[in-house]
C-alpha cells in the first residue's frame, strides 16, 4: 500500500483504489484552512499522478465531518469569502477528477461535510449516519450546496432542508436521493467493497464527460445538449481504450 500523509488528510492507495481520509478525528474532522489547502493538493495528485481509478472519501474516528471550522477559518481577522472561495475550488477539483468517487458517510455529516459528499459520484451511508445542512439557521449560506443539492433532491426538498436545517437519518437521505445506499454500521466496509466492485472498471474520460453533460442537463436546450453529446462521444469512441475494446473478438 502506498500512503501519502498531510496534517489533515491521508491518501492510501492499493491497486485501482485510493482512500482519501479526513484525518482530524480529535476535532470531528472539521474543515479548516489547512484541510482545504491539503484537499487541493490531494486533488492535483489524484488527477496527475495517482494510478488509482476509484477514490473513496471518508472520515476517521467514526465521523465523516462536522463541517467548516468557523472559528479557525476567520481566526484573528474579519470574516470574508476568500477562504470559502478556496474551499469551493477544492470541492470543484474533486468533482472534476477523472476517477470515480465514492463518499462513505458514518456518524455526523454536517454543513461542509455534506457539501463534500455532494461532489462525489455516489454516496454510501451507515445506518446511524446523520446529515445536516444548518448554515442558514446560523446566519450564513451553505456554500454551493445551493447549486448541487437541488440536482439530487429537487428544488422543493432542497428549500425545505436548507430552511429548516433539520437533521435527517441515513434512511431518509436514501429515500430523497441524497445518498445511494445504506448499510448497517457493522457492514460498512463490506458494503464499501461491494460498491467499489460495482463501479469497476472506470474509464476516466467517459466518466468526466458524462458528469459534464449531466451538469448541463437542466439548463441546456435539447439541440445544444445533442451537439455537446456528439462532441463528447466522438472523444470517447476515438480513444485508444475504446478502439481496443472494439478489436476484441465478440462473444456469442
Reported as a single tens digit per residue, the pLDDT across 125-174 is 999 999 999 999 989 899 999 999 999 999 999 999 999 999 999 999 99
The residue with cell 431518509 is 172
Distance (Å, rounded) from C-alpha 146 to C-alpha 135? Answer: 11
**121 and 243, same domain (yes or no):** no
Cell numbers representing residue 106 in the block: 458514518
The pTM assigned to this predicted structure is: 0.91
Q: Would you say residue 171 lies in a domain?
A: yes
- Maximum C-alpha span of the chain: 69
**pLDDT exceeds cutoff 70 at 44:** yes
Highest-confidence segment of 77-81, 93-97, 220-224: 93-97
Provide the number of structural domains found in the chain: 2
Q: Domain holding 151: CATH number?
A: 3.90.226.10
**pLDDT for position 252:** 47
Q: Which three cell numbers stand for residue 197?
A: 466492485
54 falls within a domain: yes
Same domain, 189 and 225: no
- Give the tens place of pLDDT for each residue, 60-73: 999 999 999 988 87
Same domain, 33 and 158: yes
* Alpha-carbon separation of residue 161 from 48, 110, 155, 167, 226 (angstroms): 37, 12, 10, 8, 34
Q: How far apart are CA 100 and CA 88, in angstroms?
A: 19
- pLDDT at residue 22, as a whole number: 99
134: domain range? 2-199
57, 171: one domain: yes
Same domain, 221 and 194: no
pLDDT tens sequence across 198-252: 999 989 889 989 999 998 888 888 899 888 888 888 888 888 887 887 877 765 4
Amino acid at each position: 500500500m502506498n500512503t501519502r500523509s498531510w496534517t489533515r488528510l491521508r491518501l492510501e492507495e492499493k491497486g485501482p483504489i485510493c482512500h482519501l481520509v479526513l484525518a482530524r478525528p480529535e476535532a470531528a474532522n472539521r474543515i479548516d484552512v489547512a484541510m482545504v489547502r491539503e484537499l487541493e493538493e490531494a486533488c492535483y495528485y489524484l488527477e496527475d499522478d495517482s494510478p488509482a481509478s476509484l477514490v473513496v472519501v471518508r472520515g476517521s474516528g467514526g465521523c465523516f465531518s462536522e463541517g467548516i471550522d468557523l472559528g479557525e477559518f476567520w481566526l484573528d481577522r474579519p470574516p470574508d469569502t476568500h477562504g470559502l472561495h478556496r474551499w469551493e475550488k477544492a470541492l470543484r477539483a474533486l468533482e472534476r477528477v477523472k476517477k470515480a468517487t465514492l463518499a462513505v458517510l458514518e456518524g455526523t455529516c454536517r454543513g461542509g461535510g455534506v457539501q463534500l459528499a455532494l461532489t462525489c459520484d455516489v454516496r454510501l451511508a451507515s445506518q446511524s449516519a446523520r446529515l445536516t445542512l444548518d448554515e442558514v439557521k446560523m446566519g450564513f449560506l451553505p456554500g454551493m450546496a445551493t447549486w448541487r443539492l437541488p440536482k439530487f433532491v429537487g428544488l422543493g426538498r432542497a428549500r425545505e432542508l436548507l430552511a429548516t436545517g433539520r437533521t435527517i437519518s441515513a434512511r431518509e437521505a436514501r429515500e430523497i436521493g441524497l445518498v445511494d445506499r445504506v448499510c448497517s454500521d457493522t457492514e460498512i466496509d463490506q458494503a464499501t467493497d461491494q460498491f467499489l466492485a460495482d463501479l469497476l472498471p472506470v474509464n476516466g474520460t467517459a466518466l468526466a464527460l458524462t458528469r459534464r453533460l449531466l451538469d448541463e442537463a437542466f439548463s441546456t436546450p435539447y439541440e445544444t445538449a445533442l451537439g455537446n453529446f456528439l462532441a463528447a462521444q466522438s472523444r470517447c469512441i476515438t480513444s485508444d481504450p475504446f478502439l481496443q475494446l472494439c478489436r476484441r473478438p465478440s462473444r456469442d
